[in-house]
Amino acid sequence: MICRLCESDSLQSYFNEYSKCSRCHMIQQDQATLLTFEEEKSRYSQHNNDSQDLGYINFLKNLTDPLLNYIKPSDIGLDFGCGPGPTISKILAKENVECFDYDPAFFPHQSLLETKYDFITSSEVFEHLHRPKEVIESIWAMIKPGGILGIMTVFYPQKQEDFAKWWYKNDPTHVCFYNEEVFEYICRELGAEILEMNRKIVIIRRVS
C-alpha cells in the first residue's frame, strides 16, 4: 500500500480499516473502504452548516479570528470546500475582506481554481481528502508568494487506544487524519512557514 500523502510504501496497519504512515505520520482509511463522490455528497447534505447559526459562526471564528492577524481588507481570498452553506466568506465580508466560495460538490465553479489568491481557507476539509497530496498541492499553487493558507481540522489522539475511541473518525467521510508531525512534513515539502498551529487550526505562509 502507498501513502496517499507522501507516496511512500511506509503504511502500517493501525486500527481496523486505518493505516498509519511511518514517514509522514498521516493516518488514512484504506482505499477500498472509501465512499463514492455521490455517497459523500449525500452525507454532506445532511450537515447542519447554517450561515445564520451563531454556534456555527463562532466555531468558524476559531479559524477566521487568528487569520485576520495575517490578512488585510485589500486581500482577495478563497474558501476551498465551503460546503452547502458558505459562512467564512460572510464572516470575512463583515471585516471588509473579499472571499470567494468554492466546493466541488455544491459550488463547483472551476474558474475560481484558475487564479491566484492572497489567502485560502479550508475548514473541515482536509480530513475528507481522498487524494491529499494532489489537492494540497493544487491549493498551494493558487496562493501568491507571501500568501496565507488557513486550515481547520482536528488532530488525531497521540495514543492508539484513544484513536480507537475517537469520535472524529466515526464520520464515514472523514478518511485521513493529521497531527503536528503531519503538518510539519507538509510544510517542509511545500516550503511553508508555520505561523500558528494547535490541535484544531493551522495557519501557514507561502514563503516564495
Q: What is the 3-state secondary structure (H, E, C) of the chain?
A: CCCCCCCCCCEEEEECCEEEECCCCCEEECHHHCCCHHHHHHHHCCCCCCCCCHHHHHHHHHHHHHHCCCCCCCCEEEEECCCCCCCHHHHHHCCCCEEEEEECCCECCHHHHHCCEEEEEEECCHHHCCCHHHHHHHHHHCEEEEEEEEEECCCCCCCHHHHHCCHHHHCCCCCEECCHHHHHHHHHHHCEEEEEECCCEEEEEECC
Burial 158-179 (b: 16+ CB within 10 A, else e): eeeeebeebeebeeebbbbbbb
* 184 contacts 193 by C-beta, under 8 angstroms: no
pTM: 0.95
Q: How many CB atoms lie within 10 A of CB 58?
A: 11
Whether the per-residue pLDDT at 48 is higher than 70: the answer is: no
CA 12 to chain centre: 23
The owner of cell 452547502 is: 84
38 torsion bin: left (phi>0), alpha (psi -120 to 50), beta (else): alpha
- CATH code: domain 11-206 is 3.40.50.150
Give the pLDDT confidence score for residue 88 in this predicted structure.
98
Confidence tier at 106 by pLDDT (50, 70, 90)? very high
Query: What mean pLDDT, rounded, does the chain reach?
Result: 95
Give the pLDDT confidence score for residue 140 in this predicted structure.
98
Q: How many CB atoms lie within 10 A of CB 100?
A: 19
Whether the per-residue pLDDT at 44 is higher than 90: the answer is: no
Per-residue pLDDT, averaged over 90-100, amounts to: 98
Give the pLDDT confidence score for residue 47 in this predicted structure.
64
Whole-angstrom Cα distance, residue 143 to residue 107? 20
Confidence tier at 108 by pLDDT (50, 70, 90)? very high
